[in-house]
Amino acid sequence: MADTTLWTRQPGFFLYTVYTAIKALVKLPLLMLLYTIPRFRPLREWTHQQAFARALTRLIFEYASVVEFSPAQCHEPGKEKDRFVTIEPFAPSQNDQEQKPSIYAGIAKPDPDAVKPATIGGTWFPSPLSPDSPSSRAHTPRRPRPRVFLHFHGGAYVLFDCRDRDMSFGARLLLGAASGSDPEAAAAAAYVLCPQYRLASHAHPSGGRFPAALQDAITSYAHLVLRLGVDARDVVLSGDSAGGNLALALLRYLEETKVLPLPGGAVLWSPWTDLGVPLAELRARREDRLDIVPPLLVEWACRVFLPEKLGDGYEGAKVCENPYISPVKRGIETEVPIWVQIGGTEIIKEDILRWVEVQKQAGARLRVYEIPNAPHDMFMAGEGLGFVKECGQAAEDAIRFLDGRE
């Protein structure tokens, strides 16, 4: 369990909450008035809504980072009802003649005294997929099998969830782009499964340090392929921010271990590609005054997510050098097509572009799509920040890329 600070415990938590409330009551009305004049907005190209929404979002993230406010995770269906499912981890199959190896191998191998596979939740969009769904049947030219997007939500491994409140906008992006303009295909064009992988913070004493999220990603992918009978070629790994980091870790794992077949593609939104960037460097970047992500959130996330050591020889400060944690350190040798979106003003833009070059050197088929003037993580924040049209166009570009219609 991570060390807590003064502001994560009472009475510090209460005091900082009161301070933030007073700060918001004073600062936000002033900004709302100030931003009516374009020259006073952080970026002239932003609308009044975009400038104000960015300020509000940044304030919320700063508060959450200081008090380390992480959402509780539960396996109750809630308002998602039958769209929320629980997914059990996999155990090796055994009989008298054969013992199949565990799907959790190498860096994801369970540690009896620490991190091991656990039961997780997940939310389906627009409805649950079952073995009888079209994706599990033979396809025809008239009704091809739909894609199944396995989407890992963002939040720096400490925030957000798989529920509607965080994922509905992004899921609509994927489903809408996949259905296109064909009304007959719209009903079965795609499904989205968003797993509730374990978070890492003091609010989760069961432990969410690496490789907990990777184990949960393996569980959810195997659930699609082994339990539901989805053809792996119909699965698209998807993720925003930390979820993009997790999608890349899963793709690397599948390529290196060969324990499960490869997916048909990967779609990444502002993926977190380098967890080793110093806090001072992040604060010095021009984008820090334009983005929604405060460097303090990155500091908190790394402190509670990174393990003290890894089984492959990376220890201490070198943990973040592991390519499973910082994919910029080594490209993935894969033929799986990768589409990646970046925001023009996001603080980790240069890290993503460094990873793009590393991945190109590994021979990957890769496409980069930039949303100009956009902050970090449009998949989750695009609606609230006023980039709905731009996000829709990005999702459509991703589908064209996956279809080979570049």
Is 241 tagged catalytic? yes
- Calculate helix-pair angle for 12-34, 48-67, nearest 10 degrees: 170
Any residues with CB less than 8 A from the CB of 45 and at least 6 apart, and which? 372, 373
Any residues with CB less than 8 A from the CB of 60 and at least 6 apart, and which? none
CB 70 within 8 A of CB 199: yes
Pairing of strands 190-196, 120-125: antiparallel
Selecting among 135, 238, 241, 270, the annotated active-site residue is 241
Residues that are catalytic: 241
